[in-house]
Amino acid sequence: MPPASKPRRVLLVCMGNICRSPTAEAVLRAKATQAALGVQFDSAGTENYHVGAPPDRRSIEHARRRGYELGQLRARQICTADFTTFDLILAADEINLAALQILCPPSRRDRLQLLLGDQAVPDPYYGESDDFEKVLDMVEKRADYLISQWVRGN
């Protein structure tokens, strides 16, 4: 799906679904709501490390400082139904994109893309406070771009 085509349902995916993908879900949801776009968002992980857990406390704290709420989200692992439920699936990095391509039916692979388009969102999990801020900066910038494209694509 080209970025200018407005999706109905978007899934954000990282490895454990506790840092990058819930951050992207919350940022995109907030910006889509501000733009009055009727797009639904969810997030998932390619691995099952944290199923049922809330996002990383650092992700929650940094996002909250910018007005995004992640605390109510819970990690889940991607499932087969996601490939038919969502019309756009955005992976945080090439590793997760490759995992999605293996799981995804060939007829649905056109809906898989990198969240940032041409680069990876770095994983802040083993990093410092600045790494969580960097992820937010990158995700906000990309969300602004995607929302503007979807508004024009209506």
For residue 122, give its domain range: 21-152
Q: Which of 19, 104, 123, 142 is catalytic?
A: 123
Catalytic residue among 14, 42, 82, 93: 14
pTM to 2 decimal places: 0.95
Instruction: Give mean pLDDT, residues 11-39.
Output: 97
Mean pLDDT of 33-60: 97
CA-CA distance, 112 to 97, in Å (whole number)? 7
pLDDT at 5: 72
Q: What is the average pLDDT across 79-93? A: 97
Q: Using the predicted structure, report yes or no on whether residue 55 has a pLDDT greater than 70.
A: yes
Q: What is the mean pLDDT of residues 52-58?
A: 97
Q: Are 34 and 100 in contact (CB under 8 A)?
A: no
Q: Domain for residue 122, yes or no?
A: yes
Contact 59, 25 (CB under 8 A): no
The pLDDT of residue 154 is above 90: no
Q: Looking at the domain assignment, is residue 111 inside a domain?
A: yes
Share the mean pLDDT of the chain.
Answer: 95
The answer to the question of residue 11 being in a domain is: no
Give, rounded to a whole angstrom, the gap between the first and last alpha carbons of the chain.
Answer: 14
Active site residue 110: no
Domain tally, the chain: 1
Question: Would you say 39 and 6 are in contact if contact means Cβ atoms under 8 Å apart?
Answer: yes
Q: Are 42 and 11 in contact (CB under 8 A)?
A: yes
Quick one: angle between helices 57-65 and 129-152, nearest 10? Answer: 60
**Considering 20, 29, 111, 142, which one is annotated as catalytic?**
20
Q: How far apart, in whole angstroms, are the C-alpha atoms of residue 108 and residue 111?
A: 6
In a domain, 48, yes or no: yes
pLDDT over 50 (residue 12):
yes
pLDDT band at 153 (very low <50, low <70, confident <90, very high): confident
- Per the annotation, the verdict on 104 as an active-site residue is no
Question: Is 88 a member of any domain?
Answer: yes
135 within a domain of the structure (yes/no):
yes
CATH number where 33 lies: 3.40.50.2300
Structure letter (DSSP) for residue 41 = E
Q: Is the pLDDT of residue 2 over 80?
A: no
Query: Which two structure tokens, joined as six digits, stand for 141?
Result: 């910038």
Q: Looking at the domain assignment, is residue 12 inside a domain?
A: no
| Residue 14 resides in a domain | no
Q: Taking phi first (over 0 means left), then psi (-120 to 50 degrees means alpha), and beta for anything else, what does residue 17 get? A: left
Percentage of the chain with pLDDT > 70?
97
Q: How confident is the model at residue 1 (pLDDT cuts 50, 70, 90)?
A: very low
pLDDT level of residue 6 (50, 70, 90 thresholds): confident
> Active site includes 19?
no
DSSP-derived pairing of the beta strands 40-45 and 112-114: unpaired
